[in-house]
Structure 1
Amino acid sequence: MSPLFVGRAAELDELLAALARARQGASSTVLIGGEAGMGKSRLIAELAAHAGDARVLVGGCIELGTDGLPFAPFTAVLRALVRDLGTDGVAALVPGGSTRGLARLLPEFGEPEPDGAHARLRLFEQILGLLERLSEREPVLLVIEDIHWADRSTRDLLSFLVRYSRPDARLLTIATYRIDEIHRRHPLRPMLAELGRIDRVRRMELRGLSRIEVIEQATGIMGRQPSDAEIEDVYARSEGNPLFVEALVSGAGGPGGVPESLRDLLLAGVERLPEETRELLRVASAGGNRIEHALLAAVAGLDDEKLSAALRPAVAGNVLIVDGEGYAFRNALICEVVHDDLLPGERVRLHTRYAEVLEDDPSLLPQPRAAIELAHHWHAAHDTLWALVSAWHAAAEARRATAYDEQLRMLCRVLELWPRVPDAEERIGASRVTVLLQASVVAHLAGEFERGLSFATAALDEIDPDADPLSAARALRRRGLLRFDMGIEGYLDDLRTAARLVPADPPIPLRAKVLENLARMLRPSPDGEERQAVAEEALALARKIGEPAIEAQALITLTWTRHRSAAPDALAAGLAEARELASRAGAYSVLLRAAISESDALEGVGRHEDAARVARRGVEEAQAYGLARTSGTFLAINLVEPLVSLGRWDEALRVIEQTVEQAPPEPFRANLLGFAVDIALARGELDRARAAYTTTASLLARGKHRAQTSLPHARRAVELAHARGRAEEAAELAERALTLPELHVDSRYAWPLLLACLRAVPELTPRLRAEADKLDVWGVVQEAYALTFAATAAHADGKADPDAWRAACDAWARTGQPYGEACALAAAAETALAAGAREEAAACLARAGELAARLRAVPLADRVSTLARRAGITRDRDEPGTAGPGLTPRETEVLRHLTLGRSNREIAEELFISVKTVSVHVSNILAKLGVGTRGEAAATAHRLGLFDEIPG
């Protein structure tokens, strides 16, 4: 079992909220459905562990079919009560004192009453009365598991309890069931539908874990971070089912295999089907997890009527799902184990049959799927020659559809089969070097940087630069680009060598490409002149030979070099021209690069809304062009950054999560997670910040990265150590950061780093001042950082300057960055208080508290509250961050809603936090106010006059 409880926090919060309502006298029922292994039992176990003072009663149905053991779960519940309370104790809770009805379930209660028309009803009423009376003594959590196996009597009793329990009983009833077991005629279906119409009944369905959650679960089981390849395999095969993840990660079935226990579970539904249906499922399994009706009919040699008749039991039994014009196995692992059960000869025969049918009629499937599946079937049929040829053709079809992942898979297949086909080059009309270079290009486009690098290196090993300088230049160019993206040194050497290998006369596109790439990779400083000269040469050459895509690339590089730092309008004009050229050439990657450059430049000068708009549009375009994992991820980084600047942190976190789900390249993933570190630090979530930082550090460990990556990473290390109170570690990290060669390459990222070092290690002030004197200041954001740095440095020298802080606050207000403004305001308030300017300090604290509360920046909000309390300043009671008697701003927000009579669930929805978090805040509020109930807390708030809108 995984040591971590993963991916069900929202569901657990919802159940805890229902249990909290039950404590307060509001009974309810939750029906929890999910496939086998989806984590229903684990969720219930976590709920029971957090049940507190509630009595937890659990009973499960036994797998004997719908006519099995009657009342089995209620017998288990009654037996547990007898063990704890004794038969007399239980009898005392039964209305009327007679337990002869309960004797039908347990012999400890004596002789059962005679059968009769009313005996069954009396049993139901006694069970209900017992639970209701028990709930008068303590809250009750009743759990009935696996009701898909429940007999008629159990279903009737459960339905009776749900319908007729008192609305004010302190009772929460939970029933779990497997969705995959509920076929169309299952007797539980109508019962679920009927109960679902009752107001006090809530249905909950557990879905598969996300990729991030699968990684978290696998890490907990394995005790280490799984590799990308391991996660890709486990996530694809498990489809996020926690039980499947656990079984596959454990490796009990061997590499690529399925453990026997899991195999039996998956095949249980298949084994119940008629033989002709099972045979057709074996045929379908060779076609993959999803297969079109027409293709299956052709392969099976059946007409529509016979095929439908044979498949209907599989659909009714929830083994197959109707999916458009075809069918899909309910779970990919079911398809896998059915296919694994085929004999070797059967597999070859079936895959050969699929290949022959698709060759005869490719229109049975759309392209590129037809070509890719044809290649798959020839490969599975062990026909090496046609597997290689069809894979080559499939790669071309995938490229036309911008399906780069599939194209890469097909090219890898060609390279894998190459040694086994003596005349491979003649068969496909391309050399092995050509295939390697194609594979390197496509791997780069697909975000598989390491594989792309290995393909480029392998091509170089097979090329003689003297005999074939152009092929060598192509391979060196590709390796240089990949090294640059991976942060590996040597990319400039590769590109300079490539430029030397391509002659200037006659002019050819390859030289223009190499020159443009070289100009792009050269640092802005100190070799800015070379960068501009090389970019100008590339642009002139591209225009001369009529290559608009290369011309657009060179124009972007040249425009960026000339105008990035101080002329956003001129930069936008140059990028617009580049986009026009790229559009005419159909160069999608160039269009996306223009969006990357524009959004980055806009963010750099503080135009956050414009930056977010350009980046968001680019993300959508990248998805349409099949470049979501590469250019799309880069644009997601450029979207997250302005969202963080604007204080839209929850939105930024959603973008991060959605993008990381796509398994982007490691450096891109590290940049995304870096912003998650920033948000967690600002909100005081140190464990989360540390975990995210550790991941980013491991992702960046193997490369040497550009200033936009290395400087923020160094800043986060200093800030995390400072937040955790590790002064020596922070000092060591700050010293190390000041030796980074990128420190003076880009002032945009250097200013935040120097400010973080100054705040964490004020002893370094003289050295930090010297470094700051070397930095440029362009744009309102850098001006705000520079002014804040100056004010902080003066404070560190014991010369706090109110005017310096006023200037910093004004600058931050112009940036539109609420967190930076709030931090400056808090510091300004502290300085104003020291100077005796209480009114100015009060105004600063009021504004800072409002911003901190809105951002849920708890450490900053606590600092503001502490300053106000020490100075005896009463902040405006209409401000959301108003501090009550020792309350944090967040607790004050919760108290405001509590006084309006809102439940924990309503407060959670209003403040965008979990119900569990609200519950913690409420407990803290009661303790700080010295009261025992929510009503007393509201009365205290009214007496203190904390809020105007409290009802009288």
Structure 2
Amino acid sequence: MSVHAVSPVFVGRAEELATLRRALERARAGGSATVLVGGEAGVGKTRLVKEFAAAAEGWRVLLGGCVELGTDGLPYAPFTAVLRALVRDMGRDAVAALVPGGTTRGLARLLPEFGEPDDDGPEARARLFEQMLGLIERLAEDEPVLLVVEDAHWADRSTRDLLSFLVRYQRSDARLLMVVTYRSDELHRTHPLRPLLAELGRVAWVTRLELRRLTRREVVEQAAGILRREPSPADLDLIYSRSEGNPLFVEALLTEAGAGQAIPESLRDLLLAGVERLPEETKELLRVASAGGARIEHALLASVAGLDDGALDSALRPAVASNVLVVDGEGYSFRHALIREALHDDLLPGEHTRLHTRFAEALERDLSILPAPRGAIELAHHWHAAHDSTWALISAWRAAAAARKAAAYDEQFAMLSRVLELWDQVPDAAGRIGADRVEVLRQAATAAWVAGEFERGLALASTAIDEVDPGREPIRAARLLRLRGLIRFDLGRPGYLDDLRRAIPLVPSDEPSVLRAKMLHTLAVMISSRDMWEEKIANAREAMELARRLGQHDVEAHALVTLTWASCRFCEIDAYLPAFAEARRLAVLGGDYNGMMRAIISETDALEGAGRHEQAAERAGKGVAEAERYGLARTSGTFLSINLAEPLVSLGRWDEALEVIEHALELSPPAPNRASLQGFAMEIALARGRLEEADRLFGATRAVYSRGLHRGQAILPHARREIELAAAHGRLGDAVELALRHLRDTDLRNDPRYSWPLLIAAARACRAAGDTGALREIVAMAEGLEVDGDLQRAHRLTFEALTGDLGGSAGERAASTGVAWDPVAAWDAAAEAWRRLGQPYGEARALTDGAWAAVASGQRTGAGERLARARELAERLEAAPLLNEIAELARRAGVAVAREPQPQDSRHGLTARELEVLELLTAGRSNREIAAELFISVKTVSVHVSNILAKLGVASRGEAAATAHRLRLVTPDAVHR
């Protein structure tokens, strides 16, 4: 009787298909969605995904699988497969046109059709990841995308990292569904996929789906489909007990029973039973193919087998006909990896060695059979599996170079580690690869560092340093010391300054060198203590001068940024802006994107620190656009979004700030960037009295800041917000305790810009708690703290208004003039300082505090005037707690708070942001173009457009544009923009 090798009926997966369909609908509606599908080998993960994908009408299906090579995975294998399929389907130019950043050199690391990869560097991997995600998101703009990644249990570290990036960082409106399959029975306790699955499982839009075995009834349905009849009860009992409901085993058992064969006793024999019935030449070819991995190219199989195309086709045809092999693009895959594993495990030791040697020799003859870096890594695998130490070492060295070119730094590190393991087994190892052991150690330490394996990188760098004689090889010793210093710096370990200080004298100072310039600059960047500021400036200056003499524009740009930032006085900010502009010019001239971004980040930070909020916001907005054009919106772009949100918060443009924050958070930025953005959102939530939201945001930022070391610009605002949150909840004792603990642990003089706001929060908590003793201690801590620029001056005036009656510098100044301390005048001075800076919240709080002081001194009329202005500002900001305080003060003091006459509203209820959107809409911009212009998400633009249509009483964008012109809601030239 004839039987189907695979059941034509798909049974027993109704619930699982329903889960996948719900995820599909969520993604189709514009929500993020990922499904992680786990299950034991043979349980039907691939069949489930194929059935689901076949029913996904109107979706572009992208399929890639992870590839196993022994214990090694191939870097980026599923994504290389996806790119190759897209190029075949659409053509190279059409795919290239979708790549963000205007260049495909990042994706060239995965597919040579895209040209030469861009230069190695710290941003290479980030750019590759962003370009891959950006490409998929842009594909999804035309038709929704289903991205399937199979066999994630074989994924290498680079593939896992990119997979995690795609899942976590996709836009919420991307119309992208990701389905990832993996063998759950492979995940032993230390398997590297386990922590990734746990991490992704906590992401809101990720669903975990575990495939169960089939029930007895479902096995009956499967068997009936395969046999074309329902099996007898006796056969079913035997098949169900032997298969235990595993669909693959059911198929194998039924195929044997249907072919009149005795059912094998062991699983291995069961899996190989179908192979054993094939012709001898086919079985031999399958044994050969099993050594090549789960998928093997036709050309490589022909070369290893030593057969011409006709003979190869003749031998392969029975395997394909019997469904042992399936055609997969330009190669072949085993129908199930378990069949390949059983065949490979069945090889005798001699066969194993000979086959892997034949694969290695075939690849040595023509490595172009496989795409880079796959060819180099497979070659290294085969020589290693063949137990040829010499060629295993040589090929691992070459594979490391290929992996680095692909930005697969973890695989580079693995290959270099193999070189070191084999070093003592190979005579003249250094001569074989053209590099000595110290050079291998250096490269391995660098790869480990870039891959985030800091501890291993530190150990390797230290070993290399121990093996170098600085007297004989000073330059090499200097490079290694610099490397170890950088790793120690990233780890937060002591000794990084010592390493750099030991390294610099080893590089001759009598002749200019790029190495010396880089070392001087590295040391300048690492110095953060004000006690060593002169050394920082001197090193940065020398590095810049050396780079200029050598024509190294990129090094000069970095050094100029560091020198300018280290020298910058906020009170003289205009004198430093040309230097930041020059640094940007040099970075562009040197092709150094990092240098350009660093110049923009430092300039916008300096402008904000000087109180130039409008300039800071404008420059940061342009920087976000630059990052997006370059294809690094999620990394550099979200960092600059921090520098955009901060001045918007200062200016009281809180809704705009929240839009910027929301847009950046939708890109799932790195944890430190996310925490900084959430910190500003928390400030707004606190000021508006949304305590539950503030609690949630503080918890998220605390989770980040509790791990690792962070600079004062992150930690000090976090400490201030913690104090303010405790006070807002009425836990005044806790707020005072927190304030004293943070201040005692902080060197306030190291960063006055962030120390003054922390002091103010601490002083307010002490005032509210009535803790004069703690307040006096805080006043003493503030003594001698410098003030640089208008922003710090406004902070100091506020602090003095809070504490002047207790003495301190303000009280002493009043006493020395013989004039009694006047709190009303002090608060008026603070309010005026905030007004000049354009900070409405600071002004409103100072006016309110001034009104309290005025009431206390009997100046009721003056109190009413201050409260009227404060209420106007607070209403605009929707600062509910401050409005309540104003109302309470007015009630208790019996002060009438007059309202300013309101001009007739000519904006038809449109907010300032809606008017901006309307103007761009009138100019014919799409939602995506408006989002890019205003640095907000497409979803937010859509909400604004809906509000505009409702408020204007129109039904379409065209009607809105016409109405806007008729009512003069937009400038006359808006349409020409």
1:698 aligns with 2:701: no
C-alpha contact 1:532 1:561 (8 A) present in aligned 2: yes
> Which of 658, 667, 682 does residue 658 from structure 1 map onto?
667
Please give the alpha-carbon distance, in whole angstroms, between the structure 1 residues aligned to 2:451 and 2:434.
24
The CA deviation at 1:735 is 2.0
- Residue by residue, what CA displacement relative to the aligned partner does 1:688-719 show, whole Å, maximum 9, x if unpaired? 2453244234313xx4x543244234334433
Alignment-derived partner of residue 478 in structure 1: 483
C-alpha contact 1:355 1:377 (8 A) present in aligned 2: yes
Give secondary structure in 1 for the equivalent of 2:531.
Answer: coil
C-alpha contact 1:600 1:638 (8 A) present in aligned 2: yes
Please give the alpha-carbon distance, in whole angstroms, between the structure 1 residues aligned to 2:884 and 2:354.
71
- Residue by residue, what CA displacement relative to the aligned partner does 1:715-764 show, whole Å, maximum 9, x if unpaired? 34433443454444433332232234531122221122112212223334
1:243 aligns with 2:208: yes
Please give the alpha-carbon distance, in whole angstroms, between the structure 2 residues aligned to 1:345 and 1:326.
23
Give secondary structure in 2 for the equivalent of 1:748.
Answer: helix
Please give the alpha-carbon distance, in whole angstroms, between the structure 2 residues aligned to 1:632 and 1:380.
45
Please give the alpha-carbon distance, in whole angstroms, between the structure 1 residues aligned to 2:248 and 2:827.
66
Please give the alpha-carbon distance, in whole angstroms, between the structure 1 residues aligned to 2:469 and 2:866.
74
C-alpha contact 1:487 1:706 (8 A) present in aligned 2: no
Give 2:660's aligned amino acid: E
> Which of 745, 751, 774 does residue 784 from structure 2 map onto?
774
- Residue by residue, what CA displacement relative to the aligned partner does 1:34-73 show, whole Å, maximum 9, x if unpaired? 867599xxxxxxxxxxxxxxxxxxxxxxxx99xxxxxxxx
**TM-score, normalised to structure 2's length?**
0.54
- Residue by residue, what CA displacement relative to the aligned partner does 1:460-484 show, whole Å, maximum 9, x if unpaired? 2333444433333222222223333
Please give the alpha-carbon distance, in whole angstroms, between the structure 1 residues aligned to 2:402 and 2:339.
30
Give 2:539's aligned amino acid: V
Alignment-derived partner of residue 345 in structure 2: 344
Overall identity of the aligned pairs, in %: 44
1:458 aligns with 2:459: no
- Residue by residue, what CA displacement relative to the aligned partner does 1:528-563 show, whole Å, maximum 9, x if unpaired? 333333333333334445544433333333222333
Please give the alpha-carbon distance, in whole angstroms, between the structure 1 residues aligned to 2:402 and 2:301.
23
TM alignment of 1:799-814, pairs within 5 A: 801=823, 804-805=826-827, 807-809=829-831, 811-812=833-834
Distance 1:833-1:651 versus aligned 2 partners, 3 A rule: farther
The CA deviation at 1:377 is 5.3
1:757 aligns with 2:757: no
- Residue by residue, what CA displacement relative to the aligned partner does 1:805-857 show, whole Å, maximum 9, x if unpaired? 555455445556666566556656766777454465244224313313xxxx7
1:601 aligns with 2:606: yes
Alignment-derived partner of residue 849 in structure 1: 875
Distance 1:795-1:465 versus aligned 2 partners, 3 A rule: same
C-alpha contact 1:483 1:489 (8 A) present in aligned 2: yes
Alignment-derived partner of residue 649 in structure 1: 658
Please give the alpha-carbon distance, in whole angstroms, between the structure 1 residues aligned to 2:419 and 2:398.
10
The CA deviation at 1:327 is 10
Give 1:602's aligned amino acid: L
- Of residues 425-434 and 650-659 in structure 1, the stretch that sits farther from structure 2 once superposed is 650-659
Alignment-derived partner of residue 437 in structure 2: 432
1:537 aligns with 2:542: yes
- Residue by residue, what CA displacement relative to the aligned partner does 1:232-277 show, whole Å, maximum 9, x if unpaired? 4766999996436999xxxxxxxxxxxx999958999999999799
The CA deviation at 1:426 is 2.2
Please give the alpha-carbon distance, in whole angstroms, between the structure 2 residues aligned to 1:810 and 1:447.
49
The answer for unaligned runs of 5 or more in structure 2 is 1-18, 59-143, 150-162, 170-189, 213-241, 256-270, 812-820, 904-938, 944-977
- Residue by residue, what CA displacement relative to the aligned partner does 1:653-689 show, whole Å, maximum 9, x if unpaired? 55346354x5x7xx77766665576566554225424
Alignment-derived partner of residue 89 in structure 1: none
Give secondary structure in 1 for the equivalent of 2:798.
Answer: helix
Give secondary structure in 2 for the equivalent of 1:182.
Answer: helix
**TM-score, normalised to structure 1's length?**
0.56
TM alignment of 1:693-842, pairs within 5 A: 693-700=701-708, 703=709, 705-740=710-745, 742-762=747-767, 763=771, 764-793=774-803, 801=823, 804-805=826-827, 807-809=829-831, 811-812=833-834, 815=837, 835=860, 837-838=863-864, 840-842=866-868
Please give the alpha-carbon distance, in whole angstroms, between the structure 2 residues aligned to 1:314 and 1:654.
53
C-alpha contact 2:561 2:580 (8 A) present in aligned 1: yes
Pick 1 or 2: higher relative contact order, CA cutoff 8 A, min separation 6.
Answer: 2
The CA deviation at 1:385 is 3.9
C-alpha contact 1:292 1:326 (8 A) present in aligned 2: yes
RMSD over equivalenced CA pairs, Å: 6.2
Aligned residues: 673
Please give the alpha-carbon distance, in whole angstroms, between the structure 1 residues aligned to 2:608 and 2:327.
47
TM alignment of 1:373-412, pairs within 5 A: 373-376=378-381, 378-379=383-384, 384-400=389-405, 404=409, 407-412=412-417
Distance 1:842-1:237 versus aligned 2 partners, 3 A rule: closer
The CA deviation at 1:413 is 4.3
Alignment-derived partner of residue 127 in structure 2: none
The CA deviation at 1:451 is 4.3
Give secondary structure in 2 for the equivalent of 1:761.
Answer: helix
Give secondary structure in 2 for the equivalent of 1:775.
Answer: coil
The CA deviation at 1:429 is 1.6
Distance 1:460-1:34 versus aligned 2 partners, 3 A rule: closer
- Residue by residue, what CA displacement relative to the aligned partner does 1:568-587 show, whole Å, maximum 9, x if unpaired? 45434324434444445444
Please give the alpha-carbon distance, in whole angstroms, between the structure 1 residues aligned to 2:695 and 2:211.
25
TM alignment of 1:890-929, pairs within 5 A: none
Give 1:344's aligned amino acid: D
- Residue by residue, what CA displacement relative to the aligned partner does 1:160-184 show, whole Å, maximum 9, x if unpaired? xxxxxxxxxxxxxxxxxx7654364
Please give the alpha-carbon distance, in whole angstroms, between the structure 1 residues aligned to 2:751 and 2:555.
27
The CA deviation at 1:390 is 2.9
Please give the alpha-carbon distance, in whole angstroms, between the structure 1 residues aligned to 2:32 and 2:783.
62
Alignment-derived partner of residue 518 in structure 1: 523
Alignment-derived partner of residue 68 in structure 2: none
Please give the alpha-carbon distance, in whole angstroms, between the structure 2 residues aligned to 1:204 and 1:633.
25
Distance 1:236-1:356 versus aligned 2 partners, 3 A rule: farther
Alignment-derived partner of residue 933 in structure 1: none
Give secondary structure in 2 for the equivalent of 1:518.
Answer: helix
Alignment-derived partner of residue 119 in structure 1: none
Please give the alpha-carbon distance, in whole angstroms, between the structure 1 residues aligned to 2:191 and 2:673.
16
Distance 1:351-1:314 versus aligned 2 partners, 3 A rule: farther
Alignment-derived partner of residue 577 in structure 1: 582
Distance 1:687-1:549 versus aligned 2 partners, 3 A rule: closer
Give 1:730's aligned amino acid: A
Give secondary structure in 2 for the equivalent of 1:744.
Answer: helix
Please give the alpha-carbon distance, in whole angstroms, between the structure 2 residues aligned to 1:457 and 1:621.
40
The CA deviation at 1:412 is 4.1
The CA deviation at 1:210 is 6.7
Give secondary structure in 1 for the equivalent of 2:747.
Answer: helix
Distance 1:205-1:506 versus aligned 2 partners, 3 A rule: closer
Distance 1:560-1:732 versus aligned 2 partners, 3 A rule: same
Alignment-derived partner of residue 231 in structure 1: 195
C-alpha contact 2:200 2:206 (8 A) present in aligned 1: no
